[in-house]
Chains A and B, each alone.
Chain A
């Protein structure tokens, strides 16, 4: 073949080449490209973590009811209002009449109790805003847990320190499984279930182990334990 003939295609303008400085950034660029997916995954993981989405959820309630006051200062037992907690799936909220047991006389004229009095008078319920809201495909039974000696605190936190109730735990599946796989850290004597800030007089590990073995507590991790 004759190499002398001119052909703009072959002897044309200089072809593109990577400029010198690109040599310097080769390594970082490669690394970045390699790590980008991991980074994005991690970001999403954190972004959608229950910690980011659920914990700390604190809706305003129609009645400015203070757990800090009632459960904390006055030390009223949880079960005084949440009567279903030992017998049924739902802990149940107290009927207005329960409020009125005291508030018929205590602070009977308080502004804040306006809605309560109205409810009691008209028979229309108070629309409390739900804080701990599990997905509809999850079937949680309070009695099953409370009767095994899992403290309220384990899932609801220091209610006695909350002016307005706040979501304490993520309530996601991994969180549930954590305890279902090893309940020891959360087991208490039955009389201490509703105690806030309970401190066992022996190491929790030993106490938990003892209670677990004594009561044959073997939490299930089957699908059907929570999903039906």
Chain B
């Protein structure tokens, strides 16, 4: 596998209304596709690059847990927080990761309902990424509180103080919103994976793999009955997940929107946050997928067309985000609330202006390059821009959280927030954790939803002509339908 990104040989992005869009190139048939995808998981010994990457990211992850230990031992003061800035990188990171966690379920659920066939090549990967991002996100609210050991008071559990949590508090809504989202995403991911796990099980040669995959394949046989129920379940889950995609980040945005901090207290937040989340989510999918497809030679399965389509979505959502930024300013001016007005002037021209302008250039300007097909279809360019988008989206959360807090109503109480090394290492560590999980996923689970991809391959339509391959009941055999 080449470590350097090479230009794609096959370009399937040309739009030809006379023929159905070619989603899988390189002349794969069901079998070779299965071999290709399973091959990645089944090969003996992972490539060195993988080990290096894993070593690096897991080290970072360990650092984070060390930092968390240090934090719990000493108190939240080890971060750069102060009065007035009571929330800093902790919440910034939380919102950032929850945002990342959007793409997956969106691709799986909403695009599924919308019959977007191109989703099949990327949804497995995106969903996995979602789960991992949500895991990273879930860490921060847990550790940001002053007394971690009583954080369970946020859950309505029976207790000897006869106390309920405060259901008026958006933080509590968060607990439920993120919790539900994580659960459903996980179910969705797993359900979708069952047939592929079965494939791996059947191809497995070592005992452990047989049993491991076999256990999680839940005895899948690919019978009509199985397929029937599977599709039903998948549809229902997609239906369940769809509103969640929109709800979870709306609820997260309530943390800010329902408060009365100038710069937080605004009704535009829910749609704005959701758009931003999809934006960042897709960017992160690209960031992980482009190298992956390169290294694992999946260019014919995750084709340029896929990348381009995602680029278009990024362009769209990026523009929405830009629109939101503009609206905020307009409303601040039009609303005539002096505190609000100052909050935004301060964002753009105050001591934190640098952060604001990083955000704008990364989120609003850079995606505009996607108007050019040349850039849309160049993996290198895509990768770079997507990384910028990730940076920009992190800064968006920084701008909203920190700048607004640092200067609210009483000038006497204004402050300035500086992160400490602990802040930084914790943040870096969360990336470590994320990529560790991604790498493990790529190594041990099928990163392409084979079963689903097969449904969008041309072969699907030849079923009548082609004789059913003997003893090949793994994957989807159209004959079963």
Contacts and interface: CB of A to CB of B under 8 A. Distances in A.
Are A and B close enough to touch in the complex, i.e. CB under 8 Å? Answer: yes
B404 to A, nearest CB: 30
A15 B214 contact: yes
A11 B158 contact: no
B299 interface: no
Contact of B471 (A11, A49, A175): A11
B231 to A, nearest CB: 22
Contacts of B467: 3
A16 B211 contact: yes
B203 A173 contact: no
A174 B160 contact: yes
B214 A1 contact: no
SS of B interface (majority): loop
A177 interface: yes
B202 interface: yes
Contact of B205 (A13, A41, A50): A13
B210 A1 contact: no
Interface in B214-256: 214-215, 219
Contacts of A49: 160
Interface residues of B, number: 29
Contacts of A216: none
A141 to B, nearest CB: 20
Interface of B: 29-32, 35, 42, 157-163, 201-205, 210-211, 213-215, 219, 467, 469-472
A80 interface: no
A18 B218 CA distance: 8
13 contacts: A1-B30, A1-B31, A9-B203, A10-B472, A16-B211, A16-B213, A17-B214, A17-B219, A41-B157, A41-B158, A50-B160, A172-B161, A174-B160
A12 interface: yes
A14 B210 CA distance: 9
A182 to B, nearest CB: 13
A115 B35 CA distance: 88
A170 interface: yes
Measured as residues with beta carbon below 8 angstroms from the partner, the interface class of chain A is 20 to 34
Most buried by B among A9, A41, A173, A177: A9
A15 B201 CA distance: 6
A47 B158 CA distance: 13
A15 B210 contact: yes
Contact of A173 (B163, B202, B219, B471): B163
A16 B470 contact: no
A8 interface: yes
Contacts of B201: 15-16
A21 interface: no
A18 B31 CA distance: 26
Contacts of B31: 1
A177 B162 CA distance: 8
Contact of A170 (B160, B211, B213): B160
Given A15-B202, A16-B201, A172-B160, 17 more contacts: A1-B31, A1-B469, A3-B469, A13-B205, A15-B201, A15-B204, A16-B210, A16-B213, A16-B214, A41-B157, A49-B160, A173-B161, A173-B162, A173-B163, A174-B159, A174-B162, A177-B162
Interface string A77-89: 0000000000000
Contacts of B30: 1
Contact of A8 (B29, B205, B219, B472): B205
A46 to B, nearest CB: 10
Interface string A124-138: 000000000000000
A75 to B, nearest CB: 36
A1 B29 contact: yes
Nearest to A170: B160
Interface in A144-181: 170, 172-175, 177
Contacts of A50: 160
Contacts of B214: 15-18
Interface in A1-30: 1, 3-4, 8-13, 15-18
Contacts of A175: 160
A134 to B, nearest CB: 14
Nearest to A42: B158
Contacts of B469: 1, 3
B161 A16 contact: no
Interface string A170-204: 10111101000000000000000000000000000
Contact of B203 (A3, A4, A10, A172): A10
Contacts of B32: 1
Contacts of A11: 471
Nearest to B162: A174
B211 A12 contact: no
A18 B215 CA distance: 8
Contacts of B163: 173
B29 A9 contact: no
A167 to B, nearest CB: 15
Contacts of A174: 159-162
